[in-house]
Amino acid sequence: MNGDPDLPVVSLPVRSLASQNGHVSLSDPLPDAVAVEAPLEIRVDGRSIAVIMRSPGRDRELAAGFLLSEGVIASPADLFEVSLCPSATKGASVVDVLVSSPEKIDFDRLTRHVFTASSCGICGKTSMDAALAVHPPLPVDPSPIIDAATLFSLPDKQRAAQTAFSQTGGQHAAALFNTSGHLLALEEDVGRHNAVDKISGAALLAHRWPLSNSILLLSGRASFELIQKALAARIPIVASIGAPSSLAVSLAESAGITLVGFLRNHRANLYSHPSRLHLGS
């Protein structure tokens, strides 16, 4: 493997297999860009709570966003320090988070929840009730409002900024826009959940949270967990290039989030809270 293992892309030898007119050919090895996937351990006050498979880079942001979505923290004020652990074993990646009030954290509940959620062991209603208990629904009012023409322009802007995907075809993207369609941030990762956590974590660390006047665009489908993460970041409009799941639609409706799916080729499906979309004259 060539390249820095701490970077999100490495060069690997790859043989090309092709069939033409019934003849199958195999090329000599040629270098190809491949997305890196590597573990990141997240510790809170020195205690390990999760290991996440992710694209290396922006690890502090990923840890902060993950803890926000899990309800460990609720605002930038809850973070005392987020640092890369210098004492980690060589080749290992560890982020240690110091919180302002560690005595308020139920570590047993947290580790049980992370394990259960990762193994898809909880039912839809339980998941939704838990999400809304940790992160209250957004106010259902017309603001912010985005023009339909602006909404339709977002996928091309997102795709143009996906540098890692352009090299590998192997990363998901989450892009944050304002209501004028200006790209505020874009994160790429082998895990779609990680890309959203990096968006919200960066806002937390820069004291730009909540993201209440923003639109989140997902490069793939919209799952329940991604809507939950948008709710934690207080993002009122979520759009996806792909389809939403039924539970994502239910959570968006209950959480006061405008959910748009299949946003491509100047078409889209609107699933919840259409009052934030301006159709034009």
Which residues belong to the active site? 120
* Residue matched to tokens 């005595």: 103
- pTM as predicted: 0.89
Cα separation, 115 vs 94, whole angstroms: 18
Please indicate whether residue 2 or residue 81 has the higher confidence score (pLDDT): 81
Question: Is it the case that residue 81 has pLDDT exceeding 70?
Answer: yes
3-state secondary structure labels for all residues of 81-147: EEEECCCCCCCCCEEEEEECCHHHCCHHHHHHHHHHHHCCCCCHHHHHHHHHHHCCCCCCCCCCCEE
Q: Report pLDDT for 122.
A: 47
pLDDT of residue 3: 45
Q: State the chain's mean pLDDT as an integer.
A: 89
Distance (Å, whole) CA 208 – CA 151: 23
Percent of the chain topping pLDDT 70: 89
Structural tokens at position 275: 């009052």
What lies within 8 Å, CB to CB, of 265 at 6+ separation is: none
Most confident listed range (67-76, 142-151, 236-245): 236-245
User: Lowest mean pLDDT: which of 41-55, 95-109, 166-180?
Assistant: 95-109
As a 3-state breakdown, the chain gives helix, strand, coil percent values, each rounded to 5, of: 35, 30, 35
pLDDT digit string (tens) for 21-50?
989 999 999 999 999 999 999 999 999 999
Is residue 249 predicted with pLDDT exceeding 80?
A: yes
- Output the pLDDT for position 125: 60
Q: At residue 119, does pLDDT exceed 50?
A: no
Whether the per-residue pLDDT at 120 is higher than 60: the answer is no
pLDDT, tens digit, 9 for 90 and up, residues 175-187:
999 999 999 999 9
* 83, pLDDT greater than 90: yes
Condensed to tens digits (0 to 9), the pLDDT of residues 178-225 reads 999 999 999 999 999 999 999 999 999 999 999 999 999 999 999 999
The C-alpha atoms of residue 178 and residue 161 are separated, in whole angstroms, by: 16
Domains of the chain: 1-36 (no CATH), 38-134 (3.10.20.10), 146-278 (3.40.140.10)
HSE-up (13 A, CA, CB side) for residue 185: 20
Lowest-confidence region among 55-69, 117-131, 262-276: 117-131
- State the pLDDT confidence band at 257, using cuts at 50, 70 and 90: very high
CA distance 95 to 88: 9
